[in-house]
A and B are shown apart, each in its own frame.
Chain A
Amino acid sequence: MCLAIPTRVVELLPGNQAVVDLGGVRKTISLELVDDVAVGDYVIVHVGYALTRLDPEEAAQTLALMAEAGLAGDGQAA
């Protein structure tokens, strides 16, 4: 369950709201559930609320782990 998408915070608004951007589409959402969000951060949004910040370093590490899976074994890139 839980359709939630990673979006980039482009503007902070009063009342704990923010404008987020995904692929050029923007929406105003609530930051009530997450603290210390800055413009440029990525947050995961579900039904109009940010649930958590996305950690770019962890994202990069996860991708690297996935990519190297294909390189291991017979030593050939996928």
Chain B
Amino acid sequence: MKKAYVRPLDLRHGSVDLSHGGGGRAMVQLIADVFGRAFDNEWLRRGDDGAVLPAPAPGERLVVATDAHVVSPLFFPGGDIGCLAVHGTLNDVAVMGARPLYLAAAFIIEEGFPLADLSRLVASMAAAAREAGVPVVTGDTKVVEKGKGDGLFIATTGVGALPGGRDLSGANARPGDAVIVSGTVGDHGMAIMAQRENLAFDSAIRSDTAALHGLAAVAIDAAPGLRLLRDPTRGGLAATLNEIAQQSAAGIVLDEGAIPVDPQVAAACEFLGLDPLNIANEGKLIAVCPAGEADALVAALRSHPLGARAACIGEVIADEHRFVQMRTAFGGRRMVDWLAGEQLPRIC
């Protein structure tokens, strides 16, 4: 019998069509040629519906985290939706104190999406996963009709192993603790904002998207009494700190002058009337630790390439109202509240 000829995917000029999500040969080919080739590992090569994973070591517990990524534009200075999808979920696992082990990824592709872009994004994702040492062991692909999706959506789930005795949680902060951030805030959100055609400005701002499990491990080693780690994403530093305040039933007081902000991010925020504290990040950690461990923790973070601008930015206080307040560099005080709705540039 002659072997059937399978026309190769035109990865340069072709585009995704509905058959690629239909469960038939076209989908198998897409998965093999694009995803299988990029992620290549023993689980994907087996071709089963699910991946069989070894049990965690004795005393260890499992951590699972999931994220959906709908960023637009798909490509931005400093990254793309592919590596963002890997970093985001790895970071959620890492801030629990767990060692990231495996990733699963689901792709929802809009009909007509260029295969060249898809290959590029999947390659970026695979590179990010490889760099982090975390394989994408299983996945799913769907194609939706034109107009029903924004190019590409990616949902990732990550599994990690948490050693016994470690309990990092937003509920652990106590009055007197130090609040530390691992670097400059607002970079990712402003990198995205700069691409919005009707707001376009020129700058060197790049997204800070990064896998933080290495940095998290450094933090955990440096501060035995570490209360929590968090990665502030949408809503910025303000949202995450308010979440912590709520969970811990405490207040937080920040020192504005200590919060690191890249000068171009600050300038871009001025142009648009935005506050860097409310702008998204994708490669930063917030750490809360006992006051006595703060110096050691900051020093340890600074010794890591992703934590070069780490700083202690405030402290936890007793406050039944759970406010996050700030001493402004100007000398007054104000609240740092959640922002209502989405950040929209002001004219006023």
Q: Residues of A with Cβ closer than 8 Å to B?
A: 1-3, 5, 22-27, 46-47
Contacts and interface: CB of A to CB of B under 8 A. Distances in A.
Contacts of B267: 22-25
16 contacts: A1-B347, A2-B348, A3-B346, A23-B263, A23-B267, A23-B270, A24-B203, A24-B264, A25-B203, A25-B268, A26-B201, A26-B202, A26-B203, A27-B202, A46-B347, A47-B347
Contacts of B205: 25
A55 to B, nearest CB: 20
Contacts of B271: 5, 22, 25, 27
A26 B205 CA distance: 11
B346 A24 contact: no
A47 B198 CA distance: 12
Nearest to B199: A27
Interface in B65-116: none
Contacts of B347: 1-3, 46-47
A3 B264 contact: no
Interface in B207-249: none
Nearest to A7: B271
B263 A27 contact: no
Interface in B133-160: none
B26 interface: no
Contacts of B346: 3
B348 A1 contact: yes
B62 interface: no
Contacts of A1: 347-348
Contacts of B204: 24
Given A2-B348, A3-B348, A23 B273 contact: no
A30 to B, nearest CB: 15
Interface string B22-54: 000000000000000000000000000000000
Given A3-B273, A5-B271, A25 B348 contact: no
A65 B266 CA distance: 27
B267 to A, nearest CB: 3
A1 B348 CA distance: 4
Interface string B333-348: 0000000000000111
Contacts of A26: 201-203
A22 B269 CA distance: 11
Given A2-B347, A2-B348, A3-B346, A25 B273 contact: no
Nearest to B202: A26
Contacts of B266: 23
Given A23-B266, A24-B263, A27-B201, 5 more contacts: A1-B348, A22-B271, A24-B204, A24-B264, A25-B268
Contacts of A22: 267, 270-271
Contacts of B203: 24-26
Interface string B256-269: 00000001101110
In the A-B complex, the 4 residue pairs with the smallest Cβ-Cβ separation, listed nearest first, are A23-B267, A25-B267, A26-B202, A1-B348
Nearest to B201: A27
B271 to A, nearest CB: 6
Contacts of B202: 25-27
Contacts of B273: 3
A24 B203 CA distance: 7
A23 B348 contact: no
A25 B202 CA distance: 6
Contact of B264 (A23, A27, A46, A47): A23
Contact of B201 (A2, A3, A25, A47): A25
Nearest to B345: A3
Contacts of B263: 23-24
Contacts of A23: 263-264, 266-267, 270
